[in-house]
Amino acid sequence: MPFRLGAIGHRSLLTISLVALTLSACAPRAQHVASAVEPPPSDWAFETSDVPVDPGFRFGKLDNGMRYVLRSNATPKGTGVVRLEVAAGSLDEGEDERGYAHYVEHMAFNGSTHVPEGEMVKLLERHGLAFGPDTNASTGYERTTYMLDLPRNDPELLDTALMLMRETASELSFSPGAVERERGVVQAEMRDRNTFSLRNYQDSTEFLQRGSRLSRRLPIGTAPSLAGATAAGLKAFWRREYVPAHATLVVIGEFDADAVEAAIRNHFADWRAASFEPQPSAGPFAERGGGESEIYIDPALSERVVVARLGP
């Protein structure tokens, strides 16, 4: 499954004007701290904005902190879309967990409490979904997103989709055998993506965001970390980060909103929140004054000039 990157430059001259760099230095996430911390604010971002909200959306929040968004849409007719976004990405990894967010994404397709290993894709194929075009996932710096495109809008298929999203959220198995079998897939993805453009992107990130976790948290991880990943370690990351307060479920299509809302409550209301909510951190950032430039030369890349300003 893919991991997401920002824009990639080519043969680059990078210039930064850091006039108002105000990102504060933050401690890493509380993944290695047992003490409780305050949960994040419960308001939706739009509630403090002066931008009007489209009345066609229905926003909701379960008592456990999980949020959901519903939208009626008849194009294409008789279809639906289900997305589960978890606010857990490579920035949330510890030094010994690099690549774990992406590895966990892969494990979502490799067995859970109610769906044995190898059965999830078969189950979806029986409903007319193709793995890849209709069933996929992606991992970035800040989030992991699971995607199901439903060819029909019947209640049975929607119920199956919600069941599978709940399995991903709280019921993954992480059997040692499945973790070992998937290791080669993740490592192959790392090799396939080790391109000239990716190395240019890494160099640019290290230059632009020197001293931050972003410069050291490419979602694919590192070869030593992936080689040493264990079922217990991956499950610990998943348990820590996959909590209701980090999850937003989106359902769009020709559905009855009240029925969908009831189905969401049926599948997710008993998902228990963790005793504490880890807090995100991208810092610390190294504050620099004035302009700086870097020249990146690689004969395999075309010429490109990038002017960038790093800000909050």
pLDDT greater than 60 at residue 12: no
Q: Provide the strand spans (E) within 182-255.
A: 247-253
pLDDT greater than 70 at residue 110: yes
pLDDT greater than 60 at residue 35: no
pLDDT at 288: 65
pLDDT band at 281 (very low <50, low <70, confident <90, very high): low
Q: What is the DSSP letter of 221?
A: -
Helix axes 257-268, 155-170, angle to 10 degrees: 30
Taking residues 45-72, report their average pLDDT. 93
* Pick from 92, 115, 122, 121: nearest CA to 104: 92
Burial 161-173 (b: 16+ CB within 10 A, else e): bbbbbbbbbbebb
CB 168 within 8 A of CB 112: yes
What is the tens place of the pLDDT at every residue in 223-276?
999 999 999 999 999 999 999 999 999 999 999 999 999 999 999 999 997 666
Per DSSP, the three-state class of 168 is helix
Q: What is the DSSP letter of 212?
A: S
Domain 11-31+57-308 bears CATH identifier 3.30.830.10? yes
pLDDT greater than 70 at residue 19: no
Per-residue tokens: 129 = 């979904």
Q: What is the pTM assigned to this prediction?
A: 0.81
Higher pLDDT, 128 or 12: 128
pLDDT at 77: 94
pLDDT at 311: 66
- Domain map (residue ranges) of the chain: 11-31+57-308
Taking residues 189-218, report their average pLDDT. 82
Give the residue numbers marked as catalytic.
105, 182
CB 203 within 8 A of CB 127: no
How far lies 290's CA from each of 131, 178, 285, 308, in Å? 49, 51, 16, 13
pLDDT at 292: 81
d(CA 199, CA 8): 9
How far lies 192's CA from each of 138, 186, 197, 242, in Å? 16, 10, 12, 28
What is the tens place of the pLDDT at every residue in 284-310?
666 666 778 888 888 877 888 888 776
* Pick from 226, 214, 188, 217: nearest CA to 104: 226
Q: What's the chain's Rg over C-alpha atoms?
A: 21
